[in-house]
């Protein structure tokens, strides 16, 4: 419908321009005055020539009356030709005033064709200019519509795809479903939801694996400890060298089994190294846009960022901010206060909610894998957000600090200054 209105308005403007040009091209100013009006002027001037002070204009024509010596005796308005030479150059009509078969003066009837043509030009120019201005306005409105309905949604899709590629599945794709890409973007958000469910399922599977490994390690270590204890007793009471050697081998093997079980348990926590981090020098002002992107519910006022160069991975730093804001939305559901300070080693960005914080005893565990606070039991999640964010910041030579602030939980992201090659 909007596209139809655009084309209707656009072609209506073109039609108005064409009509104005056709009217101007077809217009022909009157080359000659009306013979009746001219005769009326000649008749009344001849009648009143001896007393032009009492002469009254009886025609719509403008004219001037000259005496035999060229003196102006009468004129209907100022600005008229006042000599024969002026009249000739202006293409005015010059007539004789004849009384008693003698030419006693001249009548110069003003030719207003040039003025009419100039007036028609002005009207045509104004009409065409108005039509062009209306065309520009229609094109501008349609360009704004295309930006809002096409370019802007594509920009959001690009940022959304980068976040998905970076592993961030918590931020939904907010989009006006009334535009051209409404159903398309809705499908993308459904994909994000399904991927998030798959990730949560994977996290649950990892947690179950961890619990299974812990249980198996306990079940294996218990009989191994018993074997080792019996072997140590046997070693102590053995009389022959062969028996002591056999018991010693058994004890060594139980120690090896115990080490293998311990390694199996800790190996489940080493999969984080698969996430690559590639920091580089960047301008600090880019972090303002990252904070705005992370605050998709617009609950924080982002302060100005100090001008400097920092060392960070754009994608991973965006993911850190996304995780912090997503946690605040999920668990506190309040406004968010953001403060920016220039520290000794870089830029410190403190993000604090107004949810009252968490018990002090839980603070050290918030950055651990699969660890969540007591207030998170009713919320879905895997307990990986702050753990991954802490890992990213350490890889970027930065730091992630989690403390209780004056109003709620405060997470401070310290981004280090840029490296000098």
Number of domains in the chain: 4
Structural domain includes residue 116? yes
Average pLDDT along the chain: 77
User: What is the average per-residue pLDDT within 22-44?
Assistant: 66
Domain-terminating residue out of 269, 288, 313: 269
Q: Helices 314-327 and 152-165 sit at what angle, rounded to 10 degrees?
A: 90
Give Cα 153 to chain centroid, integer Å. 9
Structural domain includes residue 185? no
Are residues 386 and 305 part of one domain? yes
- Nearest Cα to 352, choosing from 420, 405, 289, 388? 405
CA dist list (Å): 21 to 10, 13, 93, 125, 135: 17, 12, 30, 9, 16
Structural domain includes residue 178? no
Are residues 360 and 239 part of one domain? no
Q: What is the dihedral of CA 120, 122, 127, 132, to 10 degrees?
A: 140
- Does 15 have pLDDT greater than 80? no
Torsion sign (Cα): 214, 216, 220, 222: positive
CA angle 269, 371, 350 (to 5 degrees): 110
Indicate the burial class of 411 (C-beta count within 10 angstroms; 0-12, 13-18, 19 or more). buried
- Nearest Cα to 223, choosing from 252, 199, 263, 257? 257
Domain-terminating residue out of 110, 125, 155: 110
Structural domain includes residue 359? yes
Are residues 136 and 25 part of one domain? yes
Structural domain includes residue 213? yes
> Do residues 57 and 76 touch, judged by C-beta distance below 8 A?
yes
Structure tokens at 36: 């009746």
Are residues 398 and 262 part of one domain? no
Are residues 62 and 46 part of one domain? yes
CA angle 34, 36, 41 (to 5 degrees): 95
**pLDDT tens for each residue of 333-385:** 899 999 999 988 999 999 999 988 888 888 888 887 766 655 555 555 556 67
Token pair 């005893």 is found at 361
Instruction: Quote the longest CA-to-CA distance of the chain.
Output: 175
Q: What percent of the chain has pLDDT over 90?
A: 19
**pLDDT tens for each residue of 79-133:** 777 788 777 777 778 888 888 878 888 888 887 766 666 777 777 778 777 777 7
CA–CA separation, 209 and 270 (whole Å): 13
CA–CA separation, 405 and 412 (whole Å): 10
Are residues 6 and 139 part of one domain? yes
Cβ neighbors of 325 (< 8 A, separation 6 or more) are 294, 295, 296, 300, 336, 351
pLDDT for 282 equals: 95
Which run of H or E residues covers position 43?
helix 35-48
Query: What is this structure's pTM?
Result: 0.42
Are residues 352 and 262 part of one domain? no
Which of these ranges, 70-84, 145-159, 193-207, has the smallest mean pLDDT?
Answer: 145-159
Are residues 412 and 342 part of one domain? yes
pLDDT for 31 equals: 45
CATH number assigned to the domain comprising residue 364 = 3.30.565.10
> Do residues 336 and 295 touch, judged by C-beta distance below 8 A?
yes
Structural domain includes residue 193? no
Are residues 375 and 332 part of one domain? yes
Domain residue limits at 290 = 280-416
**pLDDT tens for each residue of 214-259:** 556 655 765 776 688 788 888 888 888 888 888 888 887 787 687 6
- Does 272 have pLDDT greater than 70? no
Q: Helices 182-237 and 241-267 sit at what angle, rounded to 10 degrees?
A: 170
Structural domain includes residue 180? no
Are residues 211 and 307 part of one domain? no
Structural domain includes residue 197? no
User: What is the average per-residue pLDDT within 24-43?
Assistant: 66
Are residues 364 and 305 part of one domain? yes
Q: How many CA atoms lie within 13 A of 197 on its CB side?
A: 5
Are residues 348 and 386 part of one domain? yes
pLDDT for 383 equals: 62
């Amino acid at each position: 419908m909007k596209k139809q209105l655009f084309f209707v308005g656009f072609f209506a403007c073109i039609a108005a321009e064409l009509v104005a040009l056709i009217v101007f091209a077809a217009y022909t100013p009157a080359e000659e005055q009306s013979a009746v009006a001219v005769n009326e002027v000649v008749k009344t001037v001849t009648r009143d020539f001896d007393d032009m002070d009492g002469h009254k204009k009886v025609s719509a024509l403008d004219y001037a009356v000259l005496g035999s010596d060229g003196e102006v005796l009468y004129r209907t308005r100022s600005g008229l030709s006042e000599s024969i030479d002026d009249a000739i150059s202006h293409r005015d009509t010059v007539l004789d005033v004849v009384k008693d078969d003698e030419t006693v003066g001249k009548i110069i009837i003003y030719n207003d064709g040039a003025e009419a043509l100039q007036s028609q030009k002005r009207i045509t120019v104004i009409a065409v200019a108005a039509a062009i201005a209306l065309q520009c306005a229609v094109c501008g409105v349609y360009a704004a519509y295309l930006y809002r309905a096409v370019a802007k949604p594509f920009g959001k899709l690009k940022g959304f795809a980068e976040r998905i590629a970076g592993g961030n599945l918590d931020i939904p794709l907010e989009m006006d479903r009334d535009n051209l890409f409404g159903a398309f973007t809705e499908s993308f958000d459904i994909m994000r939801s399904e991927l998030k469910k798959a990730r949560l399922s994977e996290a649950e599977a990892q947690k179950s694996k961890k619990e299974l490994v812990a249980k198996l390690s306990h079940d294996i270590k218990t009989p191994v400890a018993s074997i080792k204890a019996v072997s140590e007793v046997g070693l102590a009471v053995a009389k022959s060298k062969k028996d002591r050697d056999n018991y010693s081998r058994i004890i060594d093997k139980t120690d090896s089994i115990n080490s293998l079980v311990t390694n199996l348990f800790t190996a489940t926590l080493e999969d984080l190294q698969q996430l690559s981090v590639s920091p580089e020098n960047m301008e600090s002002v880019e972090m303002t846009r990252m904070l705005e992107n992370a605050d998709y519910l617009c609950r924080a006022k982002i302060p100005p960022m100090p001008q400097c160069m920092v060392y960070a991975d754009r994608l991973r730093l965006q993911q850190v901010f996304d995780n912090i804001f997503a946690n605040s939305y999920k668990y506190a559901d309040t406004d968010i206060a953001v403060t920016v300070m220039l520290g000794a080693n870089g830029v410190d960005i403190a993000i604090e909610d107004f949810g009252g914080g968490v018990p002090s005893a839980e603070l050290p565990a918030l950055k651990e894998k699969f660890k969540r606070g007591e207030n998170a039991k009713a919320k879905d999640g895997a307990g990986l957000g702050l753990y991954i964010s802490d890992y990213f910041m350490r890889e970027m030579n930065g730091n992630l600090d989690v403390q209780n602030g004056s109003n709620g939980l405060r997470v401070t992201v310290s981004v280090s200054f840029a490296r000098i090659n």
